[in-house]
Amino acid sequence: MGEARMDAKKIWSQTLSVLKDEVSDIKYKTFILPMEPAFANDDLFILTAQDAFSQEQLIPMIPLIKNCISAATGKELDVKIELPDSSLTLEMIHQHTSSQAPSVASESSVSQLNPAYTFDAFIVGSGNRFAHAACVSVAEGGKQYNPIFLYGGSGLGKTHLMHAVGNAVKQKMPNQKVVYVNCERFVNEFIATIQSGKYDDFREKYRNADFLLIDDIQFLERKEQTQVEFFHTFNELYESGKMILMTCDKPPQSLSSLEERLRSRFSSGLIVDIQPADYETRIAILNRRMQDEHINLSDDIVDYIASNFASNIRELDGAFKTVVAYCFLANSFTLDDAKIALKDMISPKQAKQVTPEIIVEVVARAYNITVSDIMSNKRSKEILVPRQVCMFLCRSELNMTYPKIGEFFAGKDHSTVLHACNKIETSLKDENSETSIRIDSIKKRLFN
């Protein structure tokens, strides 16, 4: 068996020496070099991509990678490109480790922490400020809120914060046992434990943790036996004063296929909702990416990316990488190049759903102020006029009622909204007024 297991790192190192001459330099550095060899035997070679976007770009390269492996090592291997916590990756690694060391009790969960995910690398904005503060408190030893339950959509930074906690604890409190695990892996390990009967090893690994960081807890749904095991693990850690941090794609009360006693315990600590990044945060993230990569994109390109990829940070990163790769290959860095690079990622047939939030973002950019300024109670002219423009657009373009507009803008009353709309309508009677020109530009940004 040992002879059949090949050294994945050695295979990948040899393959890279061939592969780097077969692709462009930017494609090699952006997508291929960051991949990690995860598993290899006589038939299969598994590489892990750094994110879902990179995986999509790399899968079409599998035939080329197979040929380069054959050229470098003389081996004909089936190649899979997975994410680090995919079921295939975890299953093959588990089979490999089980054949060499039957016990699941190991410190491997600590080594799975991504060293790049730190608090310094995390961009704080209005949608994640509370979650960031809570995680910093945990990393500094604070246990006044236990457990902490972070929830939100995919790609909003939940996993980054969880890894940042683990990395910070390892650095500041090296004697503390940090166990990080994706819930899917926890489930797979427990299934293997049922098959092997080695319950003591499994429980020693998880119930001796000082910090249990469990990602994507929603994978516990409909796993009845695993729910029972996790319930007892949770209780033992909680009663021992150990810290429990979980992430999920929905709040605890929405986990309908979870036992009520687990939902109750998940809700007993601090529940934090992470919202999508606002425009200013997305700009800050892109500026950080440029700083890290020593790349300088023009403001209009950065604005174009930030304006069109608002749903999650993962897509924003993917768009940034695509633009950089395309522009390097084209040896041209213009807005038109960026639009061409992203044309397949921004569907022209997909109507842009304009919301009050989007209107506020676009107006804030047009007047060079922040969203927080518009949503505040400030009444200086440089803030008041943009706020009135927002109210007018919510009325004219979204057909919102005056009370609904007032409710959105921090409880402004009906008369305030009516006055704002009337004032803007009066300004628009002069087509050459600054307000008319500005609103025309804003509408183009909103609907084109």
Q: pLDDT higher for 87 or 339?
A: 339
Q: Average model confidence (pLDDT) for the chain?
A: 86
Q: Which CATH architecture has domain 8-82?
A: 2-Layer Sandwich (3.30)
Q: pLDDT tens, 170-226?
A: 999 999 999 999 998 899 999 999 998 989 999 999 999 999 999 999 999 989 999
The topology (CATH level 3) of 356-447 is Chromosomal Replication Initiator Protein Dnaa; Chain: A; (1.10.1750)
Q: How confident is residue 63, by pLDDT bands cut at 50, 70 and 90?
A: very high
Of the CATH numbers 3.90.79.10, 3.40.50.620, 1.10.8.60, 3.40.190.290, which one belongs to the domain with range 279-346?
1.10.8.60
Buried b / exposed e over 149-179, threshold 16 CB at 10 Å, is bbbbeebbbbbbbbbbbbbbbbeeeeeebbb
The answer to whether 204 touches 179, Cβ cutoff 8 Å, is no
Average pLDDT for 284-291: 92
Copy the structure tokens of residue 347: 């569907």
Residues 6+ apart with CB under 8 A from 249: 151, 152, 153, 154, 216, 218
Q: pLDDT tens, 152-162?
A: 888 899 999 99
Q: pLDDT tens, 274-285?
A: 988 888 899 999
Amino acid at 184: E
Helix (H, G, I), strand (E, B) or coil at 184: helix
Copy the structure tokens of residue 197: 């009967």
Average pLDDT for 421-443: 89
- Domain 119-273 classification at class level: alpha beta
Rounded Cα distance between 306 and 15, Å, is: 36
What is the pTM assigned to this prediction? Answer: 0.63
CA distances from 369 to 123, 201, 362 (A): 19, 57, 10
Residue 145: the pLDDT is 86
Residue 352: the pLDDT is 59
Max mean pLDDT range (19-23, 113-117, 196-200, 235-239) = 235-239
Average pLDDT for 51-73: 88
* Domain parsing of the chain, residue ranges: 8-82, 119-273, 279-346, 356-447
Max mean pLDDT range (52-56, 305-309, 347-351) = 305-309
Cis peptide before 147 (omega within 30 of 0): yes
What strand order describes the sheet that includes 211-215? 178-182, 211-215, 243-248, 148-151, 270-273
User: From the centroid of its chain, how far is CA 155?
Assistant: 2
Residue 141: the pLDDT is 85
Do the domains 279-346 and 8-82 match in fold? no
